[in-house]
């Protein structure tokens, strides 16, 4: 009798376990299904490949796999000497062009104007003397005391002096008027080009430091000090901690029961007694067959729609690819992120 009792007890335990397993893996009861929708999926996050924007040798790598980083944290550095020299050259070019532009905008100095005025006075004096010489020789020619050639030479000298006077007047006018507006505008354009070169050199120097673009966890460290970095060679792979969502799938017959903004409760096998609040962020407009990685309560080949359920305050406990179950109470209004997360414990 003791042997039979033991077999009976074992059978009861097996039946109880089978019943519990059947209840766990079966869909919600009709009553529960009318009040909530249970979806299955996996935790998903965005990843970023972090690379330097310059081809230069790496001098330091400050983060390791698994490190949690915040936006702005310094992750790696490049050699800076060549980049600093480029900045210094660009600064010198900007300063030189700025001085040239200032010279044009100020116009002629007083000394230059006085010099042009003196040259004009000299030219006028020379012209008066040439005129007097020509007139005197012309008078002497009438009395045959001067040759015709001497008179012609004096007249030519006078005309040449007059031309020099006109040239001196033009030079004085140009000096007083200052540079043309087109020259000033051209100098301004060259200064802007130099400033753009300086900004680019400064940006290259800033990018010698690779910083975290957002909060996250370092998944992979792909470079070491001494290696050559480039935009095509990522230094790290960063898994962003925000936003974090569940990629779940809703069967086509249940599609009309959910809408974006609905609140959800998320549960994992790792923390079976813990619930995470969330909300439905997006529903795919196209259908697909259930992915084989998702353990659903229905046949795998059912037609489903992808649903993205964002998680409120995952507290660093959810990992990429972790299988989860999301429960959506039906009959609720679309709350949205603030209401769904604000109501969460």
CATH number for the domain whose boundaries are 49-78+209-236: 2.40.50.100
The single residue listed with the structure tokens 């949205």 is 336
- Percent of the chain with pLDDT strictly greater than 70: 81
Distance CA 344, CA 310 (A): 13
Q: Report the C-alpha gap between 262 and 277 in whole angstroms.
A: 11
Q: What is the CATH number of domain 30-46+240-342?
A: 2.40.30.170
Q: What are phi and psi of 109, to 5 degrees?
A: -80, 160
**Domain layout of the chain by residue ranges:** 30-46+240-342, 49-78+209-236, 86-202
pLDDT of residue 196: 95
181-201 mean pLDDT: 90
pLDDT tens digits for range 254-280: 888 888 888 888 888 888 888 888 888
Give the model's pLDDT for residue 343.
53
Q: Is the pLDDT of residue 252 over 70?
A: yes
Query: What local confidence, expressed as pLDDT, does residue 292 receive?
Result: 59
Model confidence pLDDT, tens digit, residues 138-171: 777 777 767 878 778 888 888 888 888 888 887 7
pLDDT single digits (tens) 305-317:
888 888 887 777 7
For every residue of 46-65, which 3-state class applies, written as one string?
EEEEECCCCCEEEEEECCCC
Q: Is the pTM of this model over 0.75?
A: no
Q: Can you give the pLDDT at residue 4?
A: 53
pLDDT at 177: 65
Mean per-residue pLDDT, 318-343: 76
d(CA 330, CA 332): 5
């Amino acid at each position: 009798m003791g042997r039979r009792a033991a077999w009976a007890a074992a059978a009861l335990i097996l039946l109880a376990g089978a019943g519990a397993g059947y209840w766990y893996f079966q869909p919600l009861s009709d009553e529960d299904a009318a009040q909530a929708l249970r979806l299955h999926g996996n935790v998903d996050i965005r990843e970023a490949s972090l690379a330097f924007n310059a081809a230069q040798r790496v001098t330091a790598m400050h983060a390791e796999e698994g490190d949690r980083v915040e936006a702005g944290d310094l992750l790696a550095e490049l050699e800076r000497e060549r980049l600093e020299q480029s900045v210094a050259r660009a600064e010198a070019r900007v300063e030189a062009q700025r001085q040239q532009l200032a010279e044009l905008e100020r116009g002629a100095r007083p000394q230059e104007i006085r010099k042009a005025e003196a040259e004009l006075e000299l030219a006028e004096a020379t012209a008066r003397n040439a005129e007097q010489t020509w007139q005197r020789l012309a008078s002497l020619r009438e009395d045959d005391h001067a040759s015709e050639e001497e008179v012609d030479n004096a007249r030519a000298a006078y005309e040449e002096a007059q031309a020099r006077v006109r040239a001196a007047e033009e030079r004085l006018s140009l000096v007083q008027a200052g540079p043309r507006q087109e020259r000033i505008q051209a100098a301004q354009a060259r200064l802007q080009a130099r400033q753009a070169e300086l900004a680019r050199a400064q940006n290259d120097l800033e990018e010698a430091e690779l910083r975290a673009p957002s909060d996250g966890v370092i998944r992979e460290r792909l470079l070491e000090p001494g290696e050559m970095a480039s935009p095509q060679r990522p230094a790290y792979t960063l898994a962003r901690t925000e936003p974090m969502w569940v990629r779940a799938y809703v069967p086509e017959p249940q599609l009309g029961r959910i809408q974006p903004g609905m609140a959800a409760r998320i549960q994992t096998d790792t923390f079976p007694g813990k619930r995470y609040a969330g909300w439905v962020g997006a529903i795919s407009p196209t259908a697909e067959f259930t992915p084989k990685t998702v353990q659903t309560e229905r046949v795998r080949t059912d037609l489903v729609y992808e649903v993205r359920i964002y998680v409120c305050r995952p507290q660093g406990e959810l990992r990429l690819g972790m299988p989860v179950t999301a429960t959506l109470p039906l009959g609720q209004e679309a709350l949205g992120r603030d209401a769904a997360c604000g109501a969460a414990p």
